[in-house]
Chain A
Amino acid sequence: MATLNSKIPDGPMKDKWTSHKSKIKLVNAANKRKYHIIVVGTGLAGASAAASLSELGYNVNVFCIQDSPRRAHSIAAQGGINAAKNYPNDGDSIMRLFYDTVKGGDFRSREANVHRLAEVSNNIIDQCVAQGVPFGREYAGYLDNRSFGGAQVSRTFYARGQTGQQLLLGAYSALMKEVGRGTVKMYPRMEMLELVVIDGVARGIVVRNSVTGEISSHAADAVVLATGGYANVFYLSTNAKACNVTAAWRAYKKGATFANPCYTQIHPTCIPVHGDYQSKLTLMSESLRNDGRVWVPKKAGDKRKPSEIPQEERDYYLERKYPSFGNLVPRDLASRNAKFVSDEGKGVGQTGMAVYLDFADSIARLGKKVIEERYGNLFDMYECITGSNGYQEPMMIYPAPHYSMGGLWVDYNLMSNLPGLFVIGEANFSDHGANRLGASALMQGLADGYFVLPYTIGDYLAGSSWGKTAVNHAAFTEAEQQVKERIQKLLNIKGKKTVAEFHRQLGRIMWNKCGMSRNEKGLKEALEEIPKVREEFSKNLALLGSGNELNQSLDNALRVSELMEFSELLVRDALYRKESCGGHFREESQTPEGEAQRDDEKFCHVGAWEYKGAGQTPTLNVEPLEFQEVHLAQRSYK
């Protein structure tokens, strides 16, 4: 059994992080350059961590799968980043941001981590402004804030509709500064295909150069995974096409436990699916819900144009069911309700799998110009993709897989149960519980990278000497050999179905049986069906070319084969967790009003799965969750 010691510091919640920082071990300044750290992934978490670690004096090797670290998918985040600055004087505080995040996560996150996140949120804004992130400002030159994603205070900082892009470019610029200094070595177009563990300690990675196909080993004193989430297990998602679970999954198979994989976030405001050829779903910032009203026709099967449906025949279902939060309810509720009304036959558009997001009232109240200033780029994006004008007729939206709250288990220091393996950003599990609030992914990625890991990694490194392992160790040779065999095996299949066909097949199973609403029967069926797809994949995959060249189909095949293995663990976890919480809705566990019903008696814990070998059932390790500050309560947004 793996031991899960969360290492939450003692003392009052508000002092934990401060006192922890003053107690953890430090690495002597002169010794830092002797330590080598590998960072995999260059999104907000990876880029900010790599830059900060290099500034401290460590030697850092950074790997990313794209052609440049600036491409990481953090770049696509639109809406904003939260911080408890309370600049608008509307009563915000660290306590309130902490409280909202714990409640928003439906009491399935680790309180101490969330409090720390809220504490460092303010430092992030300071850091980003100093880097030159052009946040939105008022005419007098002060920073502007807006309310976002279900928050009752205005705590969101934004850079037009491109906040993720600007924050990532900030972290990337810090990273390139260190590359320029020569203390970060950057390895673009390199994919991590194996974690190397020696005597139970993470010692390095094996990567494939996607241009030449060369397999190489890299040893280090610590390995940091900042490899993002696994929403592409659904095939259609808002994630970038290259997002994958490989690095995390390889770590799992080497002994790192995987926590709460069933916590997936389905984002409510995405452009609906329009055809079988569709390769991804596009999210539009949920800031749209600040001024857009969500509705469907009251009558099932009503095919009239929206303009022909009179007010009294429309159901503004979010406003009706949740009068105090209305259209601004958290993401899980907004998504689930869109599914429910569509399942009742009230969905709109060609497929019936869409709801309206209507700006007519806001345009009448504020004028088109104001709406254009606030959301112009989103209306343009909508028109570019759908060919329809959101000012003249309501937009159509539908939920889409977007984010994974689950991830590799980490302790308070962001270290997995494997010593030397750290996991940051979306790839870990800790801060968002069962549902992530809007504008807090950016916050967490940068908190981990700039302000948490640079301290906590020192505590680990100070306790071990540097340079313990070199790449000529037999474990690396063996890992390289296994990677080569995995690749060759795929190339030898020479079947008839493309990678995308298999990925779509997997996605359909996951979306239908383990999507927004889950039940025991469907989950059990998924556990029957997935192995069949895997079996066919291993016999009938059509894959051309070789392993010694740029071969994008091979890249995809490697990723999809890992997603397939991982998907079973996700379903298994969803089956195990018989309660509903946040984004995980089990139909068997709902209130009389049809809301998610938690079961704190049985499930107020983190479930971290441990690999037991090929063909063996994984075992579950449990970390109980204790709530000292925020009292367990049924979430209510009514």
Chain B
Amino acid sequence: MEQTMKLTLKVWRQKDKNAKGAFESYQADNIDAAMSFLEMLDVVNEKLTKEGIEPIAFDHDCREGICGMCGAVVNGRPHGPRKETTLCQLHMRHFQNNDTITIEPWRAKAFPVIRDLAVDRSAFDRILAKGGYISVKTGCAPDASVMLVSRENSELAMDAAACIGCGACVAGCPNASAMLFVGGKISHLGLLPQGRIEAKKRAVNMVKKMDDEGFGACSNEYECQAVCPKKLSVSNIARMNRDYILGSAD
């Protein structure tokens, strides 16, 4: 059996969107190294509930690193210290006995906190509604083998499409820019022949919406790439810029 740990958590507590938040400290005892970070929070929440303290609100769902629902800034880094790992896939074996762990929500104007660690990321949906799709209706598609896609582009498109929409890129960026997220979708679709037709219009409309939602600009810090749990590359931002410039020139 792996050894259990004793930890101190400094957690951001905020009742709702309008309340002023603050850090609270909690003890987490008997934490098993094989637990996931969210299981550790579950254990703490059960204890808090029994003590009559309202549990820490945090978003999560699949707990397999694919739904994109979970996320918190752990010791200053979105999703915590492990590279390419969502918070739900971070395990306590990567912490030491007696560690103090600071846990706070994504911080960005476009992602208002709704309670404790849970934020409102609906701005992402609104950006995608402005062009994050290929305008094909159900039923009119030709046979799938009609259109060939080079394996290279198909793989690059898949790399970009791997985005889970968690928002870590925004939380990691000093400007709270959403360019990696938006660039990922623009690249995924624009790299495929069936997505090229709308590529320029897509880039212009999505970028405009991104700006309107209050996300910041890119200043080439590359923090987004560093914290992305799905390895999205900043090349996606370059592709977005190219389509945006082409589209703006039209």
Contact = CB atoms under 8 A, between A and B. Distances in A.
Interface of A: 48, 51-52, 55, 66-73, 75-76, 85, 87, 123, 125-132, 134-143, 159-160, 162, 165-166, 169, 172-174, 176-177, 179-180, 186, 188, 211, 240-242, 274-275, 277-280, 282-283, 350, 381, 384-385, 387, 450-451, 454, 496, 498, 500-501, 542-545, 549-550, 552-553
A387 B195 CA distance: 40
B50 A542 contact: yes
Interface of B: 1, 15-16, 32, 34-36, 38-39, 42-43, 46, 49-50, 52-55, 57, 59-69, 85, 89, 91, 93, 114-115, 118, 120-122, 124-125, 128-145, 147-151, 154-155, 157-158, 161-162, 164-165, 188-189, 192, 194-195
Given A68-B165, A75-B66, A176-B128, A130 B134 contact: yes
A135 B155 CA distance: 9
A23 B89 CA distance: 51
B136 A179 contact: no
A67 B164 CA distance: 13
Contacts of A278: 39
A241 B165 contact: no
Nearest to B85: A384
Contacts of A67: 59, 69, 120-122
A241 B89 contact: no
Contacts of A165: 66, 162, 164
A279 B125 contact: no
Contacts of B154: 134-137, 141
Contact of A498 (B50, B91, B134): B50
A68 B138 contact: no
Contacts of A75: 62, 66-67
Given A73-B67, A130-B194, A500-B42, A85 B62 contact: no
A278 B114 CA distance: 27
A127 B46 CA distance: 46
B133 A279 contact: no
B138 A55 contact: yes
* A71, A135, A275 — most chain B CB neighbours (10 Å): A71
A128 B59 CA distance: 29
A451 B66 contact: no
B34 to A, nearest CB: 5
A131 B134 contact: yes
A399 to B, nearest CB: 17
Contact of A143 (B46, B141, B145): B145
Contacts of A282: 63-64
Contact of A553 (B38, B55, B164): B55
B49 A542 contact: yes
A180 B201 CA distance: 14
B39 A544 contact: no
Contact of A240 (B46, B62, B114, B132): B62
Contact of B157 (A87, A128, A132): A132
Contacts of A55: 137-138
A593 to B, nearest CB: 36
A278 B137 CA distance: 43
A167 B122 CA distance: 21
A33 B154 CA distance: 38
A560 to B, nearest CB: 14
Find the residue from A128, A129, A454, A500 having the highest chain B CB count within 10 A.
A129
B125 A126 contact: no
B15 to A, nearest CB: 8
Contact of A141 (B55, B138, B150): B150
A211 B120 CA distance: 10
A604 to B, nearest CB: 35
Contact of B138 (A179, A275, A454, A544): A454
B66 A498 contact: no
Contacts of A283: 64
Given A76-B64, A141-B150, A454-B138, 12 more contacts: A67-B69, A123-B139, A130-B136, A130-B141, A130-B142, A134-B192, A160-B162, A174-B133, A176-B125, A240-B63, A275-B32, A451-B139
A277 B151 contact: no
A568 B194 CA distance: 50
Contacts of B158: 134, 159-160, 166
Contacts of A139: 151
A618 to B, nearest CB: 31
B85 to A, nearest CB: 7
A465 to B, nearest CB: 26
B155 to A, nearest CB: 8
Given A55-B137, A166-B161, A71 B61 contact: yes
A277 B28 CA distance: 13
A384 B89 contact: yes
A290 B94 CA distance: 33
A145 B120 CA distance: 39
A76 B155 CA distance: 20
Interface centre among B64, B135, B195 (most CB of A within 10 A): B64
Interface centre among A52, A130, A172, A186 (most CB of B within 10 A): A130
Given A188-B122, A277-B35, A177 B135 contact: yes
26 contacts: A71-B68, A76-B64, A125-B144, A127-B139, A129-B194, A130-B134, A132-B188, A134-B192, A141-B149, A173-B132, A174-B133, A177-B129, A177-B133, A240-B62, A241-B61, A275-B32, A277-B39, A385-B36, A387-B34, A450-B138, A496-B50, A498-B50, A544-B49, A550-B57, A550-B115, A552-B55
A476 B109 CA distance: 38
A128 B50 CA distance: 48
A176 B138 contact: no
Q: Which among B15, B59, B66, B115 has the greatest number of chain A C-beta atoms within 10 A?
A: B66
Contacts of B134: 130-132, 173
A240 B138 contact: no
